[in-house]
Chains A and B, each alone.
Chain A
């Protein structure tokens, strides 16, 4: 069965995804602490403008403003009863903008983490997570998204729960994890672990990869890790526009459009097919990325040194893959009970 994304993937050897949602909404006046998803209903003109920003900058695919649209996150704003509505409306606005683009643009329904820690460390059960993601998925499906897109996940169980929920919704999907702790996710997953995790899923994604995390350099090291492990599934690279810096009471990301253009081409050379930005990535950045991907030739797979030279150094010496994994120090163990 084909869908808008699988058709684009069949025709093209790279696709430009979108940039930041949060950063751009804050620039439009969203206050910290408010739920961006409420704007789907309260400020539809601004959400359309957000979507149009990505489409007009040349994105082939963009995410809906529904990242925190699960019951657990919306509960913090006492809006847990509005999951279906907020996701449906966020998707409908996106559909409208995509259909008016005059070229194929994929609407991907964003699904972020629940924010809860899963059993046995935390209280969230697998079944409850599946149910929560499924509720959100149905809202997005109803609003007309082409694919579902789970992102910024750190726990393997949560990623699996999303895949299962999307199977129940009968929807194609993509998924990314966030590798922000010395090249691993907060829960310790390495890039090669994720390849293995994805390979075992019953409901296979159209593409998978990494988003957010630390800077653009770290993200590309993760993409190199995916391709080194070996996978036929297209890879996604959505990195932040540099690192947040503090200046006179406000924050800005230090990644310029030029840097993100270099990042986009390097991401393609690393083996990524769907390339976009994350926090701090504005339409300006996306335009530069599109122009570079169209005009510059493909290069060889870059080394870590090439990446560091172009985009800056890495946040940690190792990312827990390859030889590093084999050499990991182990604590001498005493006897233990079974």
Chain B
């Protein structure tokens, strides 16, 4: 912007400053800079998993917090998520090779009868931004399509979205079917969408209602932590 601000040469920054700069670049949605930063850290011998958690997820956490607090809005978050995606594209194959631990996996989709997807897409992006693997089933999902994805993908979390008051009750149909088949406790069920509220989430038997994408990420992390603790204890 101003004259006195020199161009920063990412490769000349020491690790800690580079990571700080990547936080800023994520915040500003600068995809190419993020890709460059990831490549530099790889060259310096960072483990892919460390780059993911310390540089990318760390930066997206700031974005998520500011979104939650009403400082950033959807446009900025979409740009940040897009920059994150650039970095992830480089890391993804390497993470698989190195057998890095998985943060968690989510199957998400808008329920039957509902063709809205902006909110759901935002949750997907923020979840990916937090290091989760996300399988997006798209819009208008019948219970069968959720069940099939749960079986083939084996996620930790099932996410359901609805924008219409006429479609939100369908979430209960899905949850009831899971209960009926004895599968309910195998998954963390998170629900969201403009007309929903916490009371509704409880009434239909979801684990939690998530007000927005940032809350969805926090809630997912919290439930994953509990799940890991239980596994450790059991």
CB distance from A190 to the nearest CB of B (A): 10
Q: Which of A23, A76, A154, A334 contacts B115 (CB 8 A)?
A: A76
Interface SS of chain A: loop
Q: Is B40 an interface residue (CB 8 A)?
A: no
Q: Are B114 and A33 in contact (CB under 8 A)?
A: yes
Given contacts A33-B112, A187-B73, A244-B195, whether A336 and B1 have CB atoms under 8 Å apart is yes
Q: Kindly report which residue of chain B lies nearest to residue A30, judged by CB atoms.
A: B166
- Please, how many residues of chain B have a CB less than 8 angstroms from a CB on the other chain? 49
In the complex, per-residue mask of B193-229: 1 if CB is within 8 Å of any chain A CB, else 0: 0110101100110000000100000000000000000
Task: Collect the chain A residues with CB atoms within 8 Å of residue B8's CB.
Answer: 335, 337
In the complex, per-residue mask of A15-55: 1 if CB is within 8 Å of any chain B CB, else 0: 00000001100100001110000000000000000000000
Q: How far is the CA of A115 from the CA of B75 in the complex (A)?
A: 14
Q: Is A7 an interface residue (CB 8 A)?
A: no
Given contacts A31-B113, A33-B112, A246-B199, whether A336 and B28 have CB atoms under 8 Å apart is yes
Given contacts A33-B140, A251-B169, whether A334 and B78 have CB atoms under 8 Å apart is no
In the complex, per-residue mask of B55-81: 1 if CB is within 8 Å of any chain A CB, else 0: 000000010001001110111101100
In the complex, per-residue mask of B131-166: 1 if CB is within 8 Å of any chain A CB, else 0: 000000001100000000000000000000000111
In the complex, per-residue mask of A181-199: 1 if CB is within 8 Å of any chain B CB, else 0: 1101011100000000000
Q: Kindly report which residue of chain A lies nearest to residue B77, judged by CB atoms.
A: A121
In the complex, per-residue mask of B1-43: 1 if CB is within 8 Å of any chain A CB, else 0: 1000111100000000000110010011010010000000000
**Which A residues from 278 to 298 make CB contacts under 8 A with B?**
279-280
Q: Are B5 and A338 in contact (CB under 8 A)?
A: yes
Task: Collect the chain A residues with CB atoms within 8 Å of residue B20's CB.
Answer: 334
Task: Collect the chain A residues with CB atoms within 8 Å of residue B70's CB.
Answer: 182, 184, 316, 318, 320
* A-B residue pair count with CB separations less than 8 angstroms: 103
Q: Are A76 and B27 in contact (CB under 8 A)?
A: no
Q: Is A103 an interface residue (CB 8 A)?
A: no
Q: Is A102 an interface residue (CB 8 A)?
A: no
Q: Kindly report which residue of chain B lies nearest to residue A253, judged by CB atoms.
A: B165
Q: Is B168 an interface residue (CB 8 A)?
A: yes
Task: Collect the chain A residues with CB atoms within 8 Å of residue B7's CB.
Answer: 337
Q: Is B172 an interface residue (CB 8 A)?
A: yes
Q: Kindly report which residue of chain B lies nearest to residue A26, judged by CB atoms.
A: B166
Q: Kindly report which residue of chain B lies nearest to residue A338, judged by CB atoms.
A: B1
Q: Kindly report which residue of chain A lies nearest to residue B76, judged by CB atoms.
A: A188
Q: Is B177 an interface residue (CB 8 A)?
A: no
Task: Collect the chain B residues with CB atoms within 8 Å of residue A333's CB.
Answer: 24
In the complex, per-residue mask of B167-201: 1 if CB is within 8 Å of any chain A CB, else 0: 11110100000000000000000000011010110
Q: Is A79 an interface residue (CB 8 A)?
A: no
Q: Are A180 and B194 in contact (CB under 8 A)?
A: yes
Task: Collect the chain A residues with CB atoms within 8 Å of residue B74's CB.
Answer: 121, 154, 181, 186-188
Given contacts A26-B166, A246-B169, whether A121 and B28 have CB atoms under 8 Å apart is no
Q: Are A331 and B73 in contact (CB under 8 A)?
A: no
Q: Are B113 and A246 in contact (CB under 8 A)?
A: no
Q: Kindly report which residue of chain A lies nearest to residue B194, judged by CB atoms.
A: A180
Interface SS of chain B: loop
CB distance from A194 to the nearest CB of B (A): 14
Q: Is A249 an interface residue (CB 8 A)?
A: yes
CB distance from A177 to the nearest CB of B (A): 13
CB distance from B83 to the nearest CB of A (A): 12
Given contacts A244-B195, A249-B169, whether A331 and B200 have CB atoms under 8 Å apart is no
Q: Kindly report which residue of chain A lies nearest to residue B30, judged by CB atoms.
A: A337
Given contacts A251-B169, A279-B165, whether A331 and B71 have CB atoms under 8 Å apart is yes
Q: Is A250 an interface residue (CB 8 A)?
A: yes
Q: Are B71 and A33 in contact (CB under 8 A)?
A: no
CB distance from A322 to the nearest CB of B (A): 15
Q: Are A331 and B27 in contact (CB under 8 A)?
A: yes
Task: Collect the chain B residues with CB atoms within 8 Å of residue A245's CB.
Answer: 199
New A-B contacts (20) at CB < 8 Å, excluding given A22-B164, A115-B118, A187-B73: A22-B166, A23-B165, A26-B166, A32-B113, A32-B164, A32-B170, A117-B118, A121-B74, A186-B73, A187-B75, A188-B73, A244-B165, A245-B199, A251-B165, A329-B69, A330-B71, A335-B8, A336-B24, A337-B30, A338-B5
**Interfacial residues, chain A to chain B (CB-CB below 8 A):** 22-23, 26, 31-33, 76, 115, 117, 120-122, 154-155, 180-182, 184, 186-188, 243-246, 249-251, 253, 279-280, 316, 318, 320, 328-331, 333-338
29 A-B residue pairings within 8 Å (CB atoms): A26-B166, A32-B112, A32-B113, A32-B114, A32-B164, A33-B113, A76-B139, A115-B115, A115-B118, A117-B78, A121-B75, A121-B78, A121-B82, A154-B74, A187-B73, A244-B165, A249-B169, A249-B172, A320-B70, A329-B69, A329-B71, A334-B20, A335-B5, A335-B6, A336-B28, A337-B5, A337-B8, A337-B33, A338-B5
The list of the 5 closest CB pairs from A to B, nearest first, reads A188-B73, A32-B113, A33-B113, A121-B78, A251-B165
